[in-house]
C-alpha cells in the first residue's frame, strides 16, 4: 500500500509586502510630521524652582544678551490673520509666499521696513540674516512702538481666531535689566499686566517653604 505524503502548509511570509507597508508608514510619518524651525537666537534663561511650562497658544517675546527683542506666535491660524492685517495696515506689499514664510517661520527680530527683504529670502538662507531687533519706541504706545503693535495685533488675531493668547517673556540671564524693563513697560503701557516669565528649572533648596510644600504633595 503506497503512502501519500500530504502537502506541507506554506509558512513563508511575503517579506516584499511587509517592506512595502513599512515604507508607506515611514513616508506617512515623514509627510505628517511638522518640524519646528530653528530659532534665530539662543538664550540661557535664569533658573528658578517653578515647574510651570510655557502655555500653548502663546506670544513669545525673546530678549537676547544684547537686548535685541524677537517676536513669535505659535498659533499658525492666528498668525496668518496677523500677517494679513499687518501687511495691509503697514503697506508691506508681501506676496503669498512671503506671508507663508512668516507663518511657518520661527522668531524674528526686525523693524517693519526690513520685513519684505527678509521674507523674500529662501527659508534655509534666512538663518544668515542679521537681526537688529524689533524697535521699542520710548513712548511705549502701540501706535509708535513696533513691539507694542505686534503684541496688540497678535492678541486681536488670536481673539478673532477664537483662542486669546498668553504672553511669555524669555530673556537671557546676561541681559541687562533695563532692556527687559522696556519690554515689560511696553506691555503695561498697553494695559497688559498678565504675562509669564520663562525660566530654567532648578532643584528646590532644602529647608525652604517651597521644599516643605513639595514634600507634602
- Whether 112 shows a pLDDT value over 50: the answer reads yes
- Whether 215 shows a pLDDT value over 90: the answer reads no
pLDDT in tens, 128-177: 889 999 999 888 888 889 999 999 999 999 999 999 999 999 988 888 88
Cβ-based burial of 198 (10 A; exposed 0-12, middle 13-18, buried ≥19): buried
Q: Which of 29-43, 58-72, 144-158 has the lowest mean pLDDT?
A: 29-43
Residue 68: which pLDDT band, with cuts at 50, 70 and 90? very high
More confident: 16 or 129: 129
**What is the structure's pLDDT at 183?**
95
CA distance 156 to 136: 20
- Whether 63 shows a pLDDT value over 60: the answer reads yes
SS3 (DSSP) at 73: strand
Instruction: Please give the model's pTM, rounded to 2 decimal places.
Output: 0.71
CA distance 65 to 43: 7
CA distance 118 to 110: 9
C-alpha cell at 109: 527680530
Amino acid at each position: 500500500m503506497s503512502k501519500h505524503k500530504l502537502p506541507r502548509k506554506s509558512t513563508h511570509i511575503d517579506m516584499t509586502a511587509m517592506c512595502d507597508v513599512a515604507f508607506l508608514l515611514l513616508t506617512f510619518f515623514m509627510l505628517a510630521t511638522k518640524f519646528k524651525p530653528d530659532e534665530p537666537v539662543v538664550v540661557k534663561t535664569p533658573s528658578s524652582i517653578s515647574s510651570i511650562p510655557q502655555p500653548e497658544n502663546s506670544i513669545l517675546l525673546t530678549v537676547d544678551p544684547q537686548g535685541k527683542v524677537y517676536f513669535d506666535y505659535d498659533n499658525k491660524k492666528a498668525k496668518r490673520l496677523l500677517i494679513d492685517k499687518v501687511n495691509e495696515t503697514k503697506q508691506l506689499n508681501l506676496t503669498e509666499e512671503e506671508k507663508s514664510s512668516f507663518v511657518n517661520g520661527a522668531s524674528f527680530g526686525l523693524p517693519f521696513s526690513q520685513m519684505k527683504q527678509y521674507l523674500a529670502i529662501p527659508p534655509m538662507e534666512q538663518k544668515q540674516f542679521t537681526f537688529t531687533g524689533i524697535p521699542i519706541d520710548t513712548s511705549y504706545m502701540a501706535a509708535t512702538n513696533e513691539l507694542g503693535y505686534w503684541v496688540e495685533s497678535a492678541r486681536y488675531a488670536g481673539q478673532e481666531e477664537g483662542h486669546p493668547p498668553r504672553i511669555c517673556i524669555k530673556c537671557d540671564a546676561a541681559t541687562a535689566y533695563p532692556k527687559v524693563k522696556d519690554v515689560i513697560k511696553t506691555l503695561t503701557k498697553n494695559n497688559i499686566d498678565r504675562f509669564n516669565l520663562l525660566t530654567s528649572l532648578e532643584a528646590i533648596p532644602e529647608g525652604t517653604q517651597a521644599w516643605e510644600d513639595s514634600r507634602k504633595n
